Structures are given as structure tokens and as C-alpha cells.
Amino acid sequence: TITVMSATPAPSGIEQQLVDRLRATVQSYLSRMQYKSAAFWADKLVSLSRGQPKDVYNYCQCLYLTKQYHRAIHHLKQRQLHVRTVAGCHLTALCHYDSGEFNDALAVLDSAAAGNGGTAADTGGFNASQWLASASRVLDDDNLTASTEWQQLPQLDEFGLPCRPLAGSLALLRGRVFESLGVRPRAVHCFVDALRKDAYCYEAFEALFGSQNLRASEEAELLANLHFDEACQTPEEAKLLQLELEVPDSIVALKDNGDLVTSLAERYFYACHFHECQQLTSSVLANDPFNDLCLPLHIAALKELGKDNQLFLLGHQLVELYPSRPISWYAVGCYYLCIHDKEMARRYLMKCTRMNRYFGPGWIALGHALAEDTEHDQAIAAYTTAIQAMQGSHVPYLYIGLEYGLTNNLPLASEFFDQAVELCPNDPFLLHERGVTYFNARDYAKAEEQFRLAVGRIDELSGEMPSSFWEPVFNNLGHTCRKLKRLLLLFSIPQIHEAIQHHQRAWSLYPGNAATLTALGYAFALNGDFDRAVETYDEAIQHHQRAWSLYPGNAATLTALGYAFALNGDFDRAVDHLTRSLSLNSDDKFSSQLLSKLVEVMAETHLPWLDSLLGDRGDSLPTLNWQDLPDRKPASLAMESPSSASLT
């Protein structure tokens, strides 16, 4: 039970006029953000009003705004406002939270939820205990139906302090405290409760949806149970509250709002239309520089487009203006990723994640930097930490599976891909990587199914003109069709035609890719069109030679040239280029095995030609009987491994 302070005489008439004047003065200084002046006169106001709770609360607000947290806590607790009023409880816990005293903040909130406040007798008919408990109580962990008890609270208590509006604020603050203590599931639960109590609370919405704490099914269930129509007066307001991309015609001016334009840019980004995405984000930042919602997307688009100069300038600006924010060092880390300085990228991305361990994009980018440096175990550790920061996102699971696939641990890769599918079954990136895993496991039927699902989803996202980023998906589907149909029916001409169509579509998306021309040439050879195949091989060789002139010393280019010469029947030049490639990279198993096969082919000159099918890199090399192949001229050595391109 609270010991109520002894009654004090009310201010006299002259004092009351001065009290009213000072109250207006304090509010005026607060509106002008002159918090020290407001705190000075609020202190005098407390004395003149004989310590009325509303004036004490306003004084403590001024102390909070000037970051004098412990002074505010002292005055609130001295007058028992933290247990007598909902507003006092909220401000006391908030002061503890901002001063880093998370356990003390939780203790204040728990005490309020337990009803350890004043009684009706102590407060002259005001049941502080009941009201505080109603405002502070959160949903049961297993009960998704929000209690309506808090809705019975008045807008203002008897002291004129806010009561019912703070019910959602108490739940939000409790969620922040749990998040700071590392109890993420409880934090998510509190954010859900805050959003149900206050449908306009963007901070709770951002904590749930912006950080991807909920699965897609959980997000849909939450949105369905929020009952926006009950919190709104018009259907247009309800649609606005749901942050729908399509704004009603009656409020069409909002279509130019930065947040809605950013949402549209995000759709372009996930469809891999990075140029369109970057144009939209640039327009948003031109009107609202350093927009928190837009900046991570803008940085990611610049990284995908390889615009290192713009990333450098943006990172420099952010570090100069906001050195204590993780987004600044995220931009710097992405710049170094863009110029392939992996060591510096790792250093700054680690700094980013140390500032905010729940900044998901930072952990993903750090995983990329480690993966580029072939630090697979450390990359997996970074992606695993990202799971904790993005519990509702499938992206960390996707990249963990990709890393296991790169280390040829196909069972673990499939396991993480399956977990990712449970969270997001229609992501074309994920469908493609699952297809690659099935291909490498020689399960060509399932690989074809996944690649076709990916192509269908790409067409849905991109319309008639997909991004060039999707080129590997179409090429890999062509490889799979050729491989699968060849096994089912030695050379099924209609299916080879389908493989040719997929490779041609890949070429239309990304003209100049010599690997696509090589695949086309091999498909034409299997189709019996050897004149066209030879022409295609020659074109592929020209593209590889151009790549070598732009980037001499690249062992992969020499390997590709050797492979193309082998397909074209020029074994001497093929051996020469493969030998040069191995001199630059002696660990390249593909070049080593291809060179060995070429030597075997050249040694068996009595055979008209020999087709040696290479599996994916490092696999066994099964050989077909030459008598089962068409009796036509060019020797053929086929690489059957699709490129497991990182599509995110």
C-alpha cells in the first residue's frame, strides 16, 4: 500500500494565474525543442502548484528529454507516480531503459502488471492498481486473442495524465526491454500485443515486419486479426493503415510518399530489376536524404550494380554524419565488397554488427564477405547469427544451404533449403539453388522440376522481360533437360530442341556470355546440326578470347577456352590452354580431368570420335560407348554442371 503524501493547500488566485502562465510557457519551450528552458520553468512550476502530479510528470518529461534519466526516476518514485499512474509507470521504465538498466525497467513493468499499485482508498476512488494492471498486461503466450480489458480504461486519469493511449506504449517498451536482454521470442510477443492495442504504432510494426521476425503465415494471421476497420473511421483509412501499395484514389497524393515509393523499389529489387530499383531509391533520397527505410535498399542496389563510386561517396557521408549508426558502416562494408577488398569489407561489417546485433543485412553482407574469401565455416556462422536477427526470413537458411553446397555437403544443403522452403516456398532464388543441389546429386527429374518452378516464378515477377540476372536459371534448365532426356531416351530430338530454346533465352537475357554459346553449340551438336554447332563454338571462342583480353591472367577464362576448343575438335589448342590454366591454378580439378580426357581421346586415334561426359567438378567421369552416338564428325566433351550462381 502506498503512503499518500499529506494534502497541501491549493495555490492562491495570484499563484494560480502564475501556474497557468508557466504551464503554457513550459509547453511553448517544449514545442520549440528548448528542453533546458522547459525543465527550468517546469521545476518552478512543481513548487508553485504544490507538487501536483501532472506538473511533476511534465517536469520529469523535461528531465528525460535532457537525458537526466536518474533525476526523473527519483522524482517519479519519490511521489509514487510510477505505481499511481500509467503515464508515470511508462516514463519510469523508459528512463531505466534509456539508461541501460533493462532489468530495472522490466521490474517496474512487471510490478505494474502484477497490480502492485495504490488502492482505491489511497487515491480517493482512483484504482491505480487495476488500471495499471489492465494497461500493462500482455497476451498469454499461447493465446492469440487480445484481451479487451484495457479498452475499458479512460483516455485520461484523474490527474489529467494519459491512460488508455499508453497501453500499447507499455507493451512496446516491454518488447524493447526483452529484445535488449536477448529474449527475442518474448519481445516479438510484446510487439504483437502493442500492435493489437495500437494499430497506428509504427515502431511495433517495424519491429515485427521490418526485421522479419514473423513468418509469412504469421504475418498474414496477425494482419487478419488486427481489425483495422475498428480503429479507423473510413475504408481508405483502413487501407492506409495496412500500408497497402495501391493507395485509394481519394488519397492519390500519397503515391509519391517516400515510404510507398520505397516499397515499390523493393519489389523491383526482388525481381532483380536493379536499375529500376536504384532509380526509385535515388528519387526518394533526393527528397529525403538519409531516409532510414530507403537507405539499406539503396545500398544493396548500388552493390548489385557495381557502382562503387556512389557507394564510396554515400558511405563517406554517412560515417561523417552518423558514425554511431550501423547503416553507416554497412555502406562502407558494401563498398569494399563491391571493389573485392574482402579484408576491409569484413572489418567494417563486423563493426556494423557489433553496433546492432539485430541488424540482419549486416550479418548477411558479412557472410558474403567471408564466403568470397572461401571461409565457409565462418560464413555459415555469420548466416546462423542472421537467423536470430531475421527469424521470419528464409534468406539466412538459403545462404547456409548454398555454403554447404559449395563444400559438396549435399545432405546438409538440402536440409537447410527445406527449412527455407517452409518459410518462403515461392522464392525463385531458393528454387534455383534447390535445383542445383538436386542436379549435383544426379536427381535430374527433381532438378528439372525446381528449375521449371523457378522459371515460372521469374515470369510472374518480371513479366515479359526478366532481368539478365536470371540467365543462369535458364541455362541450367537447358543443361538439365538435355541431361535428363538423354538418360531417358538416348537422344530425344524434341527435348534437345527445348534445351536449345532455354539456352537461347538465356543468351537473349545476357548477350556475350561465352558459356551460353558453348552450351548452345553442344546442344546443336546433339541435335545433329553440326554445321551450326561449329559456328556457335567459333563464336564462343571469340567471346572467351575477348574476355581474356579484358582480364588476362584469369585461369577460368583459359579453362573455358580450352573447353570450347575441345568441343570444336581443336584438341591441340585445347591442351595448350588447359595446361596454361593449370599453371595458374594447379588445384582446378575440372581442368585437370578435362586435360586427362583429352589426352585419352588424342591417344585413341583409331576411334572416329569419343564423347566423354564430365559430371560436375570433381565427380566421376562416366563415358558413353561411341557406337551409341550419331556417326558424325566433331569430338565432344560436355561439362554437365550448372553454375551455382549466387542469385541474391
CA-angle at 387, arms to 384 and 390, nearest 5°:
150
Of the pLDDT bands very low, low, confident and very high (cuts 50, 70, 90), residue 554 is confident
Q: DSSP letter at 544? A: H
Mean pLDDT of 89-95: 94
Q: Which residues contact 268 (CB under 8 A, 6 or more apart)?
A: 274, 276, 277, 280
Mean pLDDT of 523-540: 69
Q: How many CA atoms lie within 13 A of 445 on its CB side?
A: 2
What is the grid cell recorded at 163?
491512460
The amino acid present at 291, given as its one-letter code, is N
Strand 611-614 to strand 636-639: parallel, antiparallel, or no bridges (unpaired)? parallel
Q: What is the reported pLDDT for 189?
A: 86
List the chain domain ranges: 67-118+125-242
Q: State the Cα–Cα distance between residues 259 and 293, nearest whole angstrom.
A: 7
Least confident of 175-189, 387-401, 463-477: 463-477
b/e burial code for range 129-164 (CB count within 10 A of at least 16 → b):
bbbbbbbbbbbeeeeeebeeebeebeeebebebbbb
DSSP reduced 3-state for 142: coil
> Within 32-85, where are the H helices?
35-48, 53-65, 69-78, 81-84
Mean pLDDT of 110-135: 55
CB 635 within 8 A of CB 571: yes
Highest mean pLDDT range out of 69-78, 158-167, 460-469, 506-515?
69-78
Give the position of cell 556494423.
352
DSSP reduced 3-state for 486: helix
Chain-centroid distance of CA 22 in Å reads: 49
Strand partners, 611: 636
- 572-623 pLDDT, tens digit per residue, is 888 998 999 999 888 888 889 889 888 887 876 544 444 443 334 333 333 3
Q: Is 525 exposed, middle or buried (0-12, 13-18, 19+ CB in 10 A)?
A: buried
**Could you tell me the CA-to-CA distances from 520 to 157, 307, 502, 525 in Å, in that order?**
77, 32, 9, 9
The amino acid present at 521, given as its one-letter code, is G
- pLDDT greater than 60 at residue 128: no
What is the grid cell recorded at 614?
564430365
Q: Is 321 exposed, middle or buried (0-12, 13-18, 19+ CB in 10 A)?
A: exposed
Q: What is the reported pLDDT for 627?
A: 29
Q: What is the reported pLDDT for 43?
A: 94
Instruction: Report the share of the chain in percent with pLDDT over 70.
Output: 76
What is the grid cell recorded at 349?
561489417
Least confident of 61-65, 289-293, 567-571: 567-571
What is the grid cell recorded at 581?
590454366
Nearest Cα residue to 214 out of 386, 394, 365, 426:
394
Of the pLDDT bands very low, low, confident and very high (cuts 50, 70, 90), residue 58 is very high
- 319-356 pLDDT, tens digit per residue, is 999 999 999 999 999 999 999 998 999 999 999 999 98
The amino acid present at 342, given as its one-letter code, is K
Q: State the Cα–Cα distance between residues 554 and 16, nearest whole angstrom.
A: 85
Highest mean pLDDT range out of 91-100, 402-411, 626-635?
91-100
Nearest Cα residue to 42 out of 72, 69, 79, 4:
72
- pLDDT greater than 80 at residue 544: no
The amino acid present at 63, given as its one-letter code, is L
Q: State the Cα–Cα distance between residues 433 and 644, nearest whole angstrom.
A: 7
Chain-centroid distance of CA 218 in Å reads: 17
